Amino acid sequence: MVVAYQETERSESLASFALAEPEEQPLLAPVTPTMNWAAVHSLSQSRPRGPADVEQVTVIRRTATIRRGTRMIKLLSSRQFSGYLHGRLPGGFCYRACDLTMLGGPGVLSMLTGDSTPPDTSGKQVVFGLRWRAIDPVDYHIPFSVPVGDLPAYPGLATISPHNRLGPPVLGTGFALSSQHVVPEFVTADLADLPMPAGTTLVAFTPEGLEIGLYLYLPEQRAWTRMFGPQWRHLVASMPEVPPDQEYVPMNIDHSRWSTLVGQYDGELYEALADPPHEYRVLARARAARYPVDTLARRNHYTEWHGVACTVVRIEGDWVRVRLRRPDAENASGLGAQCVERGIYEAWAPLVDLTIREVDVEYDL
C-alpha cells in the first residue's frame, strides 16, 4: 500500500502516520505534480541514475519502517521449507507482512521466494512462508546499492550476473522486482541469521487464497509442533524429510554455534528468549525459571577469509560454513561461494585459517 502525504508538511504528516499504527505503518510518497503511483512504481523498478533519483527513491523507501513487534515474513519454496523445519534460522531477504496482503495468491508470491516453486501433490502451486515478529529494527537493513546517510549499502548484489544468482535481480532501490506492485524489501543485518523468536510459524499460501498454519516454533523445546489437520497433509507430503504425520519435530543442532539471544538476570548472563514486542526472558524449560532479563543482545559469529568479511553459519569438525556479508561477483568467485538462495552466498573454509569473533548487538529494552 502506498499512501500520499503533503511534501510541504513532511515532518508533521509523517508523525501522524507513525502514531496511527506504531508497528506497521504504510509506505508513504510525497504529493507533487509529477509524483503519481506510476512514477513511484517506476522509481522502485529503476536503478537510480544520479543524486536526484537517489534522493527521491530513498525518501519514499525509508518510510517503510520496522519497529519492535512488526510482523515479518520470508517466503519459501518447498525446497527451502524443510531446511527451516530442521534448523535454519531467519536470514537474508524478507518483507513486512503488511506489504504483501494485497499481492494475491501463490502465482505472485512465488516471485519473492527467489526459487522455483513446483506444484504440490494435488497439482496446485503452493508458496510457503516463515512468519515472525521483529525483535528490534537494528536487525534489518535496506538493500540499497549506494550508501544513504548512515545506512549501510549492498552494492554487489545489484551487479551479480544472472548465471551467478538465484531468483530475480536485486534492483538496489530497496524494492522488489515487480511489474505491478511496489513492495519494500529488507535484508537481515549483514545477511546474517537472526535468532528465532517465540511465536514463529511456518505457513502455506494456497491457490484458493487461504493461509494455512503448518508448524509453530517452541523455543524452550527447540522444536516445531504441527498445527494442521489431515485435510492439509498434501501440502507437505512431497517434501524431503518432512513426515506429514509427525506431531513434534525437534531441531537437533548445537545452538551455541548459531545466532542466539543472550541476556542478563541478577548479574548473570543466560541464553534468552524474545516474544516481541513486550516479553524478553531467560530461556528455560521450567516455567519458574523464566525470569525477565535486564539486558538483551543478539550474538553472532564473524570472521574474515582471504580478506572477505563473513558471518559464521555453522562449524562441522575442522570446517566452517561462512556467509559473505557483502557479496559481489569478485569475492563470491574468489572464495568459490555458492548462491544458496537469493542474495545468500556461502562457502566452506578450513577452521585453522580463521579467527572467529563473537559479536553482541545490544538491544535497547
Q: Are residues 122 and 41 in the same domain?
A: no
Picking from 61, 89, 106, the residue at the C-terminal end of a domain is: 61
Number of neighbouring beta carbons within 10 Å of residue 65 = 19
Percentage of the chain with pLDDT > 70? Answer: 88
pLDDT tier for residue 24 given thresholds of 50, 70 and 90: confident
The total domain count for the chain is 4
Sign of CA dihedral 80, 82, 87, 90: positive
Over range 245-265, report the average pLDDT: 80
Is residue 259 located within the same domain as residue 168? no
Say whether both 127 and 223 belong to one domain. yes
CB distance 164 to 329 below 8 Å: yes
Residue 27 lies in a domain: yes
Read off the pTM.
Answer: 0.90
Q: Are residues 101 and 231 in the same domain?
A: yes
> What is d(CA 334, CA 156) in angstroms, rounded to the nearest whole number?
14
Confirm whether 116 is domain-assigned. Answer: yes
Instruction: For residue 41, give the amino acid letter.
Output: H
- What is residue 68's predicted lDDT score, i.e. its pLDDT? 94
Q: Do 292 and 312 lie in a common domain? A: no
Question: Would 26 be classed as within a structural domain?
Answer: yes
> Is residue 55 in a domain?
yes
- Tell me which residue range forms the domain holding 17: 2-61
Considering the domain architecture, whether residues 200 and 76 belong to the same structural domain is answered as: yes
In terms of domains, do 36 and 163 share one?
Answer: no
66 part of a folded domain: no
Question: 47 and 100 in one domain?
Answer: no
What is the pLDDT at residue 240? 78
pLDDT tens profile 140-171: 999 999 888 778 899 999 999 999 999 889 99
- Residues 222, 98: one domain? yes
pLDDT confidence bin for 207, thresholds 50/70/90: confident
pLDDT band, residue 7 (cuts 50/70/90): very low
Flag the least confident range among 51-60, 138-147, 200-209: 51-60
Residues β-bridged to residue 30? 5
Residues pairing with 2 in the sheet? 27
Instruction: Name the average pLDDT for the chain.
Output: 86
Residues 169 and 100 in one domain: yes
Same domain, 317 and 283: no
Strands of the chain (E only): list them.
2-6, 27-31, 71-76, 93-96, 127-133, 140-141, 186-188, 201-205, 211-218, 223-226, 248-250, 260-265, 268-275, 279-282, 295-305, 308-316, 319-324, 338-341, 344-350, 357-363
Whether 177 has a pLDDT exceeding 50, the answer reads yes
Q: What is the pLDDT of residue 116?
A: 56
Residue 122: per-residue pLDDT: 53
Please indicate, yes or no, if residue 137 is contained in any of the structural domains.
yes
Q: Is 179 exposed, middle or buried (0-12, 13-18, 19+ CB in 10 A)?
A: exposed
